[in-house]
Amino acid sequence: MAEITTEPLGPGTAVVAVTGEITFSNVAALDRQLALALAEATHLVVDLTAVAFIDSSGLSTLLTASARAREDGGTVALVLTQDEPPSIFRFRGVDRLLALYPSREAALAAVS
The pLDDT tens digits for 37-87 are: 999 999 999 999 999 888 889 999 999 999 999 999 999 999 987 655 567
Parallel/antiparallel/unpaired status of strands 2-8 and 13-22: antiparallel
Which of helix, strand or coil describes residue 94? helix
- Neighbouring CB atoms inside 10 A of 66's CB total 22
Ordered by where they begin, the domains of the chain are 2-111 (3.30.750.24)
Picking from 52, 51, 58, the residue whose alpha carbon sits closest to that of residue 91 is 58
pTM for the full predicted model: 0.91
Which of helix, strand or coil describes residue 101? strand
